[in-house]
Amino acid sequence: GAVVSQHPSRVICKSGTSVKIECRSLDFQATTMFWYRQFPKKSLMLMATSNEGSKATYEQGVEKDKFLINHASLTLSTLTVTSAHPEDSSFYICSARDLGTSGSDEQFFGPGTRLTVL
Amino acid sequence: RKEVEQDPGPFNVPEGATVAFNCTYSNSASQSFFWYRQDCRKEPKLLMSVYSSGNEDGRFTAQLNRASQYISLLIRDSKLSDSATYLCVVNTTSGTYKYIFGTGTRLKVLA
């Protein structure tokens, strides 16, 4: 199956700093990538849909100025958590859809980034 | 009402048991359905897609009932390695394409 990578896998930062997370599709091109957040013992919540070459589509309740998304190429999307606070501590997971796979609705997930804000 | 609902469990079953998980969804326009497995502190991994006619993959059987808006997953002959959280996922393309995840059902298979 298609491979999606994320970097970093884990980050610990001080309150007020910004953190950038990268999501890459390694062996396919992804015009659309998705960013999710997962709190402990909770399910994945879609934060935004990242569209290559255009603005991201944010889900209701997600602050676009706090969670900056850039999808500059067909293989890379970045999520920047700006002015991070302890309540932003979470597991952030990206996924991508391989449109090259005919008829497939499957999303391929990155390994996730665990963010801890002190 | 949540868009995708699951019993959170946990389901504690002995090795070799058969266990069934259920999931209901609220949007009748939903088009694709999946079961994902998630291990602790890991990303979700696709277990199987769910087709209208029902489908089987080894010890796993998935069923879809569109009329009742209900999806099920049956695991036969449970193994210790089946212990994980099972996520019901519904893909809705009305408006924009996106996955909606259920809260997940925790399974623990006991020796």
The answer to whether the CB of B55 falls within 8 A of the CB of B16 is no
In the predicted model, is pLDDT for residue A15 greater than 70? yes
Which chain A residues contact residue B34 at CB under 8 A?
106
Identify which of A40-44, A72-76, A84-88 has the greatest average pLDDT.
A84-88
Residues 75 through 94 of chain A touching chain B, CB cutoff 8 Å = 91, 93
Q: Which of A24-28, A90-94, B72-76 has the lowest mean pLDDT?
A: A24-28
Tell me which chain A residue has its CA closest to the CA of residue B91: A105
- What is the share, in percent, of chain A residues with pLDDT greater than 70? 94
C-alpha closest to that of A4 among A93, A88, A79:
A93
Is A68 in the B-facing interface, judged by CB distances under 8 Å?
Answer: no
Out of A32, A45, A93, the one facing B43 most closely (by C-beta) is: A93
Long-range contacts of A48-57 (CB under 8 A, 24+ apart): A49/B96, A49/B97, A49/B98, A50/A77, A52/A77, A57/B96
Query: How many angstroms separate the CA of residue A60 from the nearest CA in chain B?
Result: 14
Q: What is the mean pLDDT of residues A76-104?
A: 88
Q: What is the mean pLDDT of residues B10-36?
A: 94
The pLDDT-based confidence of A30 (bands split at 50, 70, 90) is confident
The pLDDT-based confidence of B41 (bands split at 50, 70, 90) is confident
Out of B43, B46, B98, the one facing A46 most closely (by C-beta) is: B98
In the predicted model, is pLDDT for residue A68 greater than 70? yes
Residue contacts between A and B (CB atoms, under 8 Å):
46
Output Rg (C-alpha) for chain B, integer angstroms.
Answer: 14
**Could you tell me which residue, B73 or A99, shows the higher pLDDT?**
B73
Cis peptide before A8 (omega within 30 of 0): yes
**Could you tell me which residue, A42 or A21, shows the higher pLDDT?**
A21
Which pLDDT score, from 0 to 100, does residue A102 have? 56
pLDDT by residue (tens digit) across B47-104? 999 988 889 999 999 999 999 999 999 999 999 999 999 999 998 776 677 889 999 9
- The verdict on a CB contact (< 8 Å) between A106 and B46 is yes
- The verdict on a CB contact (< 8 Å) between B103 and A43 is yes
In the predicted model, is pLDDT for residue A103 greater than 70? no
Number of Cα atoms under 13 Å in the Cβ half of residue A51: 9
**Could you tell me which residue, B101 or A106, shows the higher pLDDT?**
B101
Which pLDDT score, from 0 to 100, does residue B2 have? 80
The pLDDT-based confidence of A53 (bands split at 50, 70, 90) is confident
Query: How many angstroms separate the CA of residue A107 from the nearest CA in chain B?
Result: 9
